[in-house]
Amino acid sequence: MIEAVGLTKRYGDKLAVDQLSFTVQPGQVTGFLGPNGAGKSTTMRLILGLDAPTAGTVTVNGRPFAAADNPMREVGALLEAKAIHGGRSAYNHLLCLAQTNDLPARRVGEVLELVGLTEVARKRSKGFSLGMGQRLGIAAALLGDPKVLMFDEPVNGLDPEGILWIRNLMKTLAGQNRTVFVSSHLMSEMEHTADHLLVIGRGRMIADCTVAEFIEQNSEQQVRVRTPDTERLSALVTAEGGRVSAEGTTLRISRLPLERVGDLAFENNVRLHELTALQASLEQAFMELTKDSVEYHAAVPGGQPAAGGGPGSPSDVPFDNPSQKVEA
Amino acid sequence: MTTLTAVGLPPAKGRSGFKGALRSEWTKIRSVRSTSYTLLATAIVTIGISTLFAWGQSGHTSQEDLADFDPVRYSMFGIIFGQLVIVVIGAMTLSSEYTTGMIRTSLTSMPRRGVVFSAKLLVFTLVALATGLFCSFTSFFIGQAFFQKVQIHEFGPGERRTIGSMDLSTSLGKPHVLQAVVGGGLYLAVSALLAFGLAALLRHTAGAITAAIGALFVTFIMGQFLPHDWAVKVDKYIPFLAGSQIWGLRKLGDKDVPMFSAWGGFGVFTAYAAVAIIIGAYLFRKRDA
């Protein structure tokens, strides 16, 4: 379990991580989602004590990571691909890590077997492909049979087979009641792997919910309409059970099919200048959500795991535009 | 990937600490080729240049120079160039962790940074000492073989005459000789440690090597250009001149410029390295990795 309270990191005048509070539970894969530069890697570095937080605290299994008796048995981390000395063989790389925690040398052979690098164990890692480098990093993370695993963008640069392998690995690890915390900037990746999601943007928490909730809330079809007579159309749409949010002469309508919106306008003589279907894939929802994280922060239930916003509640849709947000 | 059960992992016994870190650092230093290459280069340069110099000295010593003949220093002159090579290992031992990103992996396996730094420092100190002593003793013995028969010349107007040969060699049993030969190894080791400390400060290989060579070599050359009344006050603090008093039987430097004693000078030299290492260690613990 990882617990962060008010975690903040400032580099010069840039606030990389801004008062993050979250809990990563064991027994499930927790996806850590955010665009590049959102603060995911920084957060992971703070968890590991590589960087010191400007404010706030973070603990791993109840203690600061640096206080762990045997750190490698607590946390295994894959931070960046190839954070290794290329002149050292895979075997010696793992051996020098194992020795720091008094792990037996035969465990090195075991993890090499596990990630499929036995044949190149004596080769210098300089010549490894990106995929092999990732596997070596994962072997290092698994050395201490840790309770908590952290992977920073593990599928970057991997071929489909490697991606599938890592997905299955993470699920297996979570199935063994370990804490698995994995970052990505791709929603599509998390959709397949994660059970729970933490979404951050510009260092702040935007959403903390299950993947199912995220899909429910964000995969809605919407219709965009531009009309000079927004008031009348809004009333008509609402009467039919649709939901409307207005922004100038543009309306965003949900829970009503595009055809019905068009018919309504036609039957009631409302002039339309635009009628567009908005396809809200998870990827788009995610991008929309994180596009301007500060603006959206107020509207989306941050740090509100389950419950609360069911499918019908008005404030849970990140598509909502700012004007409505102020009212909510 | 069939099973994830850790068969080869017995339950933990106690807390990970310095002992494991030492073994780890030893594995690190012996498992990269650059270590053996640079150690070999240090030995070749130090012993090779010492041998060349001793050979030259054994054939070209004039009568007037006899009084200043230092059979220990003259047998280990390669140290002056060897120090420029051994600083490379000193710098790279630490800076390569930063340039490769390995430091983040290292500190994730052992986040107690003081343990990591001191283990690395101790392992490297032993390696540097072994290298330095090997170079100084080997150079010394080769030199003495040459000095058993030194050609003495007399320089007349426009000519040079050989007036005979003398045995100018010495042995470890003579006063101060053992101290000076050991001192040669110590000097090389502390040069490397200075570079280690600078690498902790700068976290950059080329930067640390440049800084170390600047401190060891450039300050010495610049000292040569000082006006005499300055040199009298400053020269003895120049790292090379302070540290080098220990690896000879006679004072190194201009006759009328005061210098520290053998151990006094070596103490000053070691203090420079210690300052770099202490600041480096502090930053190693405080800075974001």
ipTM: 0.90
Residue from B108, B117, B120, B286 whose CB has the most chain A CBs within 10 Å, to mutate: B108
Segment A310-323 shows an average pLDDT of 37
Q: At what angle do helices A40-48 and B102-109 cross, to 10 degrees?
A: 40
Quote the domain boundaries for residue B237.
31-286
pLDDT of residue A279: 62
Task: Locate the chain A residue with the closest alpha carbon to B35.
Answer: A87
Residues from chain A that touch B32, judged by Cβ atoms under 8 A, are 85, 87-88
Segment A175-185 shows an average pLDDT of 94
User: pLDDT (tens digit, 9 = 90+) per residue, B187-243?
Assistant: 999 999 999 999 999 999 999 999 999 999 999 999 999 999 999 999 999 999 999
The answer as to whether B38 is a domain residue is yes
The answer as to whether B281 is a domain residue is yes
A326 to chain B, closest Cα gap in Å: 40
User: pLDDT (tens digit, 9 = 90+) per residue, B32-76?
Assistant: 999 999 999 999 999 999 999 999 999 888 888 888 899 999 999
Residue B89: pLDDT band by 50, 70, 90 thresholds? Answer: very high
A169 to chain B, closest Cα gap in Å: 8
For residues B82 and B42, give the distance between their C-alpha atoms in angstroms, rounded to a whole number. 5
Segment A284-293 shows an average pLDDT of 68
pLDDT of residue A303: 44
Percent of chain A at pLDDT above 90?
58
pLDDT of residue B154: 83
**pLDDT > 80? residue A13:** yes
User: pLDDT (tens digit, 9 = 90+) per residue, A89-128?
Assistant: 999 999 999 999 999 999 999 999 999 999 999 999 998 9
The answer as to whether B210 is a domain residue is yes
Segment A158-183 shows an average pLDDT of 93
Residues from chain B that touch A70, judged by Cβ atoms under 8 A, are 12, 15-16
Residue A219: pLDDT band by 50, 70, 90 thresholds? Answer: low
> A46-50 contacts: CB < 8 A, separation 24 or more?
A46/A4, A46/A7, A46/A9, A46/A17, A47/A2, A47/A4, A47/A75, A47/A150, A48/A75, A48/A77, A48/A79, A48/A150, A48/B107, A48/B108, A48/B111, A49/B107, A49/B111, A50/B104, A50/B107, A50/B108, A50/B288, A50/B289
For residues B143 and B73, give the distance between their C-alpha atoms in angstroms, rounded to a whole number. 9
- Note whether A106 contacts B24, CB cutoff 8 Å: no
User: pLDDT (tens digit, 9 = 90+) per residue, A141-159?
Assistant: 999 999 999 999 998 878 8
- Judged by a CB distance cut-off of 8 A, whether residue A117 touches chain B is no
pLDDT of residue B225: 92
For residues A223 and A255, give the distance between their C-alpha atoms in angstroms, rounded to a whole number. 9
Residues from chain A that touch B9, judged by Cβ atoms under 8 A, are 103-104, 107, 110, 144-145
Segment B247-260 shows an average pLDDT of 92
Task: Locate the chain A residue with the closest alpha carbon to B103.
Answer: A83
Calculate the average pLDDT of chain B. 93
For chain A, domains (ranges, CATH) are 2-216 (3.40.50.300), 218-299+316-327 (3.30.70.980)
Tally the domains of chain B: 1
Q: In what order do the strands lie in the sheet with A75-78?
A: A75-78, A148-152, A179-184, A29-33, A196-201, A204-210
Residues of chain B numbered 81-110 and touching chain A (CB < 8 Å): 96-97, 100-102, 104-110
Residue B163: pLDDT band by 50, 70, 90 thresholds? Answer: confident
Question: How far, in Å, are B77, B144, B157 from residue B147 at the CA level?
Answer: 14, 5, 27
User: pLDDT (tens digit, 9 = 90+) per residue, A231-252?
Assistant: 999 999 999 888 898 888 899 8
